[in-house]
Every structure is written in C-alpha cells, then in structure tokens.
Structure 1
Amino acid sequence: MTALPRTAFGDDRILKTLRIHRQGPVLTIELNVPEQGNTVTDAMLDDLLAVLADQDASVQVVVLTGAGDDFCLGGDRGEFAQHLAHDPTGSGIRMSGTKARRVCDALTSNPAVTIARIHGKAVGAGLALALACDLRVGAEDATFRLPELALGLPTAWGGLLPRLISEAGAARVRELILTGRAFTAQEAQSLSILQKTVPAQELDAAVTAWAKPIVRRPPAALRVTKTLLNSLTASTRLADASVLDPELMAAVVAELHHARRTG
C-alpha cells in the first residue's frame, strides 16, 4: 500500500486521513484514504473533530468531499472487529459511535454553510456524513446505499436515521433500509437527499455556484439564519432517539458477536 501524504494542521498535529485546503472564506475538507474507499475509522473521526473544532471564524463555507473513486464506502468493519476483539461488550464501538455523532452534529451546527460534494459511492456512514451537511450535490453517476441491516447492524450511526426521515420521508426511508438496495443520484434528488445532480466534471462548478453568493452574505445574518433553519427542522421531529445510536450499535454488534462465537 502506498503511504498517504500527511497534512500538518494547526500547531504540530498531523491529519492522517484528511487533506484540507483553504481559499479565502471557503474551507475544503477531503476524506483522503482513497485506497480504502475513504472508509470511516476512529482516526478519521478524530481528524474531522480536530478540523471542525479549530475552524477559523472567518470561514463561511465548508466543503466536504472525498479523494479517489468514491466519496465514502461507510464504516470500517475491520475496525469494528478489532474493537470487539479487545472488548466483546462493545465499549470501543460505543466510543466510536459517540465520536460519529459529535462529527455529524459539528457539521450540522457549524456556523458556516456546509456542502457535501458527492461522487462515486456514498454508503452507510458516508451517506450520514453527507446528510449532516446543509447542501448536497452529487455526480449524475453517483450511487447510494444503506447496507446496515444486511450486515446485521442497526441504522444507528451519527444521527443518520432522524435526518434521513426528516429529508426523505418515513415511507421511502423504510423501503431503502429494509431492502438495502442501491439507488441512483436521480432518485436521491427526488428524495431530497441531494438538492442537485450534475455531470461528474461539473461538480466543482456546482459547488462554486453555491459558495459564491453565500460568502457575500453578512456573516452574522448567515449564522442566525442557519441556526433558525436547524431549530425549525429539529422542531418537526416528534422524537429524536439518535442520542442512543452508540448504545444501540454497541448492544447489537456485541450480541451478534457473542452469537457467532457460541453458535
């Protein structure tokens, strides 16, 4: 495996899984483990938390994208297995799930407008990261999938389920989760998972078209408007049990692991 370039960030810290680029008020965060499909690991969650926590106040747009052929192929199942080998009760998975929720909350509540730039495949946790963003544009040949149930896992990562139901509607989400089928960018747009689809070569232009007017908005008005939108969206949910995501994931995975060992 070719060694990945490492990015210095802030003081003496090193980002092992991300590449970041700042151009004026626009900050681009690139998931940068292409040979692994940008799968989400604890190291990636730590890097994302570090970048988002130290984000400069003058940033008005944050773009989330992925290196290589795919946006993100979901969570790293190999790391799940390592967590269970270390502690079969699922404490490592619980800790990882808590980080995932913090990352997704940091994207949603970010004072800047967050834009997901999606190409290739967005699977499971990758789709959750995209849904945590305010605006989402996808390449016309991008595909999406929620495979958790087929893997013996609940759809409980980073607050994915309430966000998905809020955007796409319960009936359609139920079908996508229970079947685990892949769906196209065009269907994702019809479900409001994407707000726009464009040819792959026009993704950067689509992001720029959104970012240009946003960076001209008065920062205070932009922050307040985004806070209002988030508050009103949250108020439409009768209940948001995603705070229990880490516990649910840990409990189900630990039970499945135990059944496989004793069965």
Structure 2
Amino acid sequence: MTPTHSKRADMPTDFKTLRVVEEGPVLQVQLNRPEHGNALSGEVLTDLLEVLHMLQEDTTIRVMVLSGAGDDFCQGGDRSEFPALLAEDPSGGSLRALAAKAERVCAALSTLEVVTIARLQGDVIGAGLGLAIYCDLRVGAETCRFRMPELGLGLPPAWGGVLDRLPTEVGQSWVRYLLLTSEPFDAHRARELSVLHNVVPPDGLDAAVSRLAKTIARRDPAAIRITKRMLSARANAAQLSVGGYFDGELLTSAVTRAVNARSSRGQMSSDPS
C-alpha cells in the first residue's frame, strides 16, 4: 500500500502500530506489528481508537478494510504487557484501563456507520478473533487458523466485551463449545459458523476483499449509514444486558492471578499457547 493524502486536513497518517492508507472511499487500516504477530497492545488500541473516532466524523469514507501485516492477522492480546501493568499498579487499575480501552475500540467498531471488512490470514486468535468479529464482513484465506485459547491460559474470554458479540454472530451453542474447549478450527469450519463470510485461496485474498469493498463503496452513502444504524440498534438490543459491565473486573482479577502464577515460569507472552 502506498500512502496518499487525505481529503480531510485532520486525517491521521502517522502511527507507530498501524498503516493507514486512503484509497478513494475505502480506508485501508493494517495492524503493523508483524514481529509480534500483530498482538493488540495498549498502543495498538490507542491508534485504532484515533482512526475509528476520525471515521465517525468523516463522510468521505464508505468502507474500512482492517488487515494485519505479515503472516498473521492477529495472535491476540499482547499478554507481555500484563506483568509490567500489574507492577505499575498492583491494585489492577492499569489493567482495568487497558480492558476499558479494548471495550471502547469494540464499541466504536460496532457503532461505526462505515462498513467494515476484516481481511484475515494466518492466525486469528483470542482478541484477534474478537476484533474481527466486530467487523461487519469477514473474508479469510483458506489457510486461516482460529482459536479462543483464554480458558487454557487461566483467563476469561472477556476482551472488549466479545461475549456480547460472538453469540449473535456464531450462535450461543457453538460459542459455548469453542470457549470451553479452546479447540482450534480452520477457515472452512469458520465459514460454516459464520465467523467468515467468504473463504478464498491465499493468492486471491486481496482481490476478493477489493471486489467486496468496491461493491459496497458504490452503494448510496446515506442508505449505507441508515442501514448500519438499523443493524447496530438491533444488535445492541440482542446483546447481554450486563455482560460488558463486568468484563474489566473479570479480566483484571484473572490476569492478576495468571501473572502471579506464571511470571516466574516465563509463560506470559504474546504468543498463543
């Protein structure tokens, strides 16, 4: 992707963890930490929030494509941050702030009136799957690998309020199974579960996403925004009434226990277990 100038004077163009490129009515947003599996650190969440807040005010962009640099879309939350955050604030305040930031990212995605497309390849794990599931449409390469490993790590699947979104996208029964077993699944199974809408060969991923983005970008922008508002209102009504309220506290409590139990063994990293 080659950066271009924005149509808005205040369009963010310089991020440490993202590559943001405007292509007419389509905004390409790429997680850009391939050396860390594009793990979602606090800095990544801050950058994503800035982009999403900009899009809430921008009427020139109709589609946002969210992708990941390198071999993987996203290997989950950056757990390597947890020990430092806990050392900084043993009461868990810093961890709660991180959890709240993840919730704000997902809330912004779920209410965005721009159509969002997740372009997925390689590992789509934990928080990475949560981030993708908050996008409107998801296109994945046949080589995608999915997993929700949190329970195996001693953590609740609380990232970003994902338990509000997953059952409406996948279905309560299968969400229960995937969370309790942490069983991995491939792209074709993801298509059966509605985690993916389209599955394509790896060398056809960019073309498939581009076709979808161009098709949507040709739609009337007012009609798109009204449709997104209607879908958002329906989804919000179907969400768990108190699920998100406890996510920060749940995550903080569990992370504190996990850090204390594992840090001496060097097991708390950003890589999936």
Query: What TM-score do the two structures reach when normalised by structure 1?
Result: 0.91
SS for the counterpart of 1:153 is: coil
Residues 26-57 of structure 1 deviation map (CA, whole Å, 9 limit, x = unaligned): 00000001011000101000111111112332
Contact between 1:89 and 1:251, CA under 8 Å: does it hold in 2? Answer: no
Residues 112-160 of structure 1 deviation map (CA, whole Å, 9 limit, x = unaligned): 1000000000011100110110000110110101111111100001121
**Corresponding residue for residue 35 of structure 1:** 35
How far did residue 260 of structure 1 move?
Answer: 6.7
Identity %: 49
Contact between 1:19 and 1:31, CA under 8 Å: does it hold in 2? Answer: yes
- Which shifted more, 246-255 or 106-115? 246-255
- Which shifted more, 119-128 or 171-180? 171-180
Q: Which letter maps to 2:22? A: R
Q: Which letter maps to 1:212? A: K
SS for the counterpart of 2:160 is: coil
Q: How do 1:84-163 residues align onto structure 2 when only pairs under 5 Å count?
A: 84-163=86-165
**Corresponding residue for residue 173 of structure 2:** 171
Structure 1 residues 238, 147: CA separation in 2 closer, same or farther (over 3 Å shift)? closer
**Corresponding residue for residue 255 of structure 2:** 253
Distance 2:260 2:79 in 1: 16
**Corresponding residue for residue 4 of structure 1:** none
**Corresponding residue for residue 269 of structure 2:** none
**Corresponding residue for residue 26 of structure 1:** 26
**Corresponding residue for residue 47 of structure 2:** 47
SS for the counterpart of 1:57 is: coil
Residues 60-104 of structure 1 deviation map (CA, whole Å, 9 limit, x = unaligned): 000000000000000111101111111222111110111111111
Q: 1:239 aligns with which of 235, 241, 256?
A: 241
How far did residue 196 of structure 1 move?
Answer: 0.9
Q: Which runs of 4+ in 1 moved over 3 A?
A: 7-14, 255-261
Distance 1:228 1:187 in 2: 29
Structure 1 residues 209, 153: CA separation in 2 closer, same or farther (over 3 Å shift)? same
Contact between 1:89 and 1:250, CA under 8 Å: does it hold in 2? Answer: no
Contact between 1:90 and 1:253, CA under 8 Å: does it hold in 2? Answer: no
Distance 1:13 1:201 in 2: 28
Unaligned ranges ≥5, structure 1: 1-6
Distance 2:161 2:203 in 1: 31
Distance 1:11 1:134 in 2: 23
Query: What TM-score do the two structures reach when normalised by structure 2?
Result: 0.88
Contact between 2:22 and 2:28, CA under 8 Å: does it hold in 1? Answer: yes
Unaligned ranges ≥5, structure 2: 264-273
1:66 aligns with 2:68: yes
- Which shifted more, 136-145 or 211-220? 211-220
**Corresponding residue for residue 267 of structure 2:** none
SS for the counterpart of 2:139 is: strand
Contact between 2:73 and 2:128, CA under 8 Å: does it hold in 1? Answer: yes
Distance 1:260 1:68 in 2: 29
Q: Which letter maps to 1:106? A: A
Q: Which letter maps to 1:192? A: S
How far did residue 8 of structure 1 move?
Answer: 11
**Corresponding residue for residue 209 of structure 1:** 211
Q: Which letter maps to 2:54? A: D
RMSD, aligned CA: 2.3
- Which shifted more, 34-43 or 161-170? 161-170
How far did residue 213 of structure 1 move?
Answer: 2.2
SS for the counterpart of 1:62 is: strand
